[in-house]
Amino acid sequence: MTRSLAELGRRLGALALLVAVAGCSGRQSALSPAGEDAAWLRDLWIVMLVGAVLLWTALNGMFYFVTRIRPRDWPERYANRLIIGGGVIFPTVLVGTLLAYGLSMMPHMRADGNGLVVKVRAEEWWWRVEYWPAGATAPIVTANEIRLPTGQRTELLLDANKYIHSFWIPALGGKMDMFPGRETRMTLRPETPGVYRGQCAEFCGPSHALMAFEAVILTPEDFTGWLEAEAAPALPPATPEAQRGEALFRDEGCGACHAVRGTDFEGLVGPDLTHLASRESLGAGIMEVTRDDLVNWIAHTGDIKPAVAMPAYDWLEGPQLADLAAYLEGLK
């Protein structure tokens, strides 16, 4: 019986270790850094973990020594040395060293950006994003996606519309809270191109868990090309189906909430849709930008994302939804 329990304990321990290790990698892992800031935070975590293990081992080792290895009446001077040295001086020096090491990273992580400024506003429950290149007089507006170049530090200015949110891309750096009426600042220096996942890290309401975004890291050359394409107006509808969808978009009043640059749709309430089809996700990181997902989103918005401000256009028939999705699918 004892042997069976021991074997069960070993198997459960191995399973727990596998589960723990599985969380150490992936595009949303803070322990798999793709940027300079995330690498510093990973190193800080490792150093803090080692320090905690040393402290735990030393203190419990002393307790084990005096209670199991040498259980006897100790002179008072030894007890005082143990309490003062092991219980006061050693933890104070260790924790102070760890604190100094952590604080030494702050100036680097708060350094100024290299010219590009990205303004991010947390809405209900999506992200409004504006790119301000150096010397720009007007922003390049998009939504629910962050694109950054490698090898340079980019400044992000963060605020919120109504509720407190928190901006976090674990693979790139730490999180920063976002407050209504107050602008907070952080900088990030990505190093590895790829697509990583960001998330609101502060409980903000019914669709908090559905308020994600993709962080796309590009080489400087690719980023420059993307930014130029993103600043361009939307392409006109290329098929009869898309043309009918554009007319439906206008008739249903979608342009009162959404902007599509190059058209007379200039709404500022919802996300900018100018290049919707070139984004990595739909609905703030929860769906793909496919025709089927577009139809599903338009017809069942509130069911997919509770408390979202966009109404569900469930009165539209199948062919109308297909036309509208064709128009949106052509916004590249």
Question: Same structural domain for residues 137 and 227?
Answer: yes
- Does residue 291 belong to any structural domain of this protein? yes
Domain edge (last residue) among 173, 199, 231: 231
Q: Lowest mean pLDDT: which of 13-27, 105-119, 281-295?
A: 13-27
- Does residue 248 belong to any structural domain of this protein? yes
- The pair phi, psi for residue 129, each rounded to 5°, is -125, 130
d(CA 231, CA 25): 34
d(CA 250, CA 145): 25
* Structural tokens at position 72: 């006897």
d(CA 39, CA 51): 18
Is 90 exceeded by the pLDDT of residue 105? no
In angstroms, how far is the first alpha carbon of the chain from the final one? Answer: 66
H or E segment to which residue 13 belongs: helix 2-22
Question: Same structural domain for residues 122 and 60?
Answer: no
Q: Lowest mean pLDDT: which of 19-28, 114-123, 140-149, 321-330?
A: 19-28
H or E segment to which residue 91 belongs: helix 90-103
Question: Same structural domain for residues 222 and 159?
Answer: yes
In three-state secondary structure terms, 299 is helix
**Do residues 260 and 274 touch, judged by C-beta distance below 8 A?**
yes
Is 70 exceeded by the pLDDT of residue 260? yes
Question: Same structural domain for residues 99 and 190?
Answer: no
pLDDT of amino acid 115: 85
How many domains does the chain fold into?
A: 3
* Structural tokens at position 221: 């050359």
Q: Write out the DSSP string of 215-279.
A: EEEE-HHHHHHHHHHHHSPPPPP-SHHHHHHHHHHHHTTGGGT-EETTTTEE--SS---TTGGGS
**Do residues 289 and 279 touch, judged by C-beta distance below 8 A?**
yes
d(CA 314, CA 305): 15
* Structural tokens at position 96: 């102070």
Question: Same structural domain for residues 99 and 171?
Answer: no
pLDDT of amino acid 81: 84
pLDDT band at residue 323 under the 50/70/90 scheme = very high
Domain edge (last residue) among 201, 231, 261: 231
Q: For the chain, give the percent of residues with pLDDT over 70.
A: 92
Domain edge (last residue) among 79, 108, 137: 108
- Mean predicted lDDT score pLDDT of the chain: 90
Question: Same structural domain for residues 49 and 92?
Answer: yes
CA distances (Å), 1 to each of 4, 6, 8, in order? 5, 9, 11
d(CA 15, CA 31): 20
d(CA 244, CA 105): 56
pLDDT of amino acid 328: 97
- Does residue 37 belong to any structural domain of this protein? yes
Question: Same structural domain for residues 101 and 175?
Answer: no
In three-state secondary structure terms, 200 is strand
Mean of pLDDT values over 236-254? 95
Is 90 exceeded by the pLDDT of residue 257? yes
pLDDT of amino acid 113: 83
Mean of pLDDT values over 84-99? 85
Question: What does the angle CA 195 – CA 111 – CA 103 come to, to the nearest 5 degrees?
Answer: 100
- The pair phi, psi for residue 78, each rounded to 5°, is -70, -40
Question: Same structural domain for residues 130 and 208?
Answer: yes
- Does residue 79 belong to any structural domain of this protein? yes
Mean of pLDDT values over 228-255? 95
pLDDT of amino acid 199: 95
**Do residues 43 and 214 touch, judged by C-beta distance below 8 A?**
no
pLDDT of amino acid 288: 94
Mean of pLDDT values over 313-319? 93
Question: Same structural domain for residues 98 and 122?
Answer: no
pLDDT of amino acid 324: 96
Question: Same structural domain for residues 303 and 277?
Answer: yes
* Count of beta carbons in the 10 Å neighbourhood of residue 236: 11
Is 60 exceeded by the pLDDT of residue 181? yes
In three-state secondary structure terms, 294 is helix
Please enumerate in sequence order all residues whose Cβ is within 8 A of that of 48, keeping only pairs 6 or more positions apart, or say none: 98, 102
Q: For the chain, give the percent of residues with pLDDT over 90.
A: 69
Which comes out higher in pLDDT, residue 112 or 300?
A: 300
Question: Same structural domain for residues 102 and 129?
Answer: no
- Does residue 13 belong to any structural domain of this protein? no
- Does residue 9 belong to any structural domain of this protein? no
pLDDT of amino acid 141: 96
pLDDT of amino acid 91: 83
- Does residue 322 belong to any structural domain of this protein? yes
pLDDT of amino acid 26: 79
pLDDT of amino acid 227: 96
Mean of pLDDT values over 142-169? 96
Nearest by Cα to 159 from 137, 186, 138: 186
**Domain at 135, CATH number:** 2.60.40.420
- List beta partners, residue 157: 119, 185
Is 60 exceeded by the pLDDT of residue 138? yes
Residue 259 sits in which domain range?
240-329
Question: Same structural domain for residues 78 and 160?
Answer: no
Instruction: Quick: pLDDT tens for 4-32.
Output: 655 665 666 555 555 555 556 778 888 89
- Does residue 257 belong to any structural domain of this protein? yes
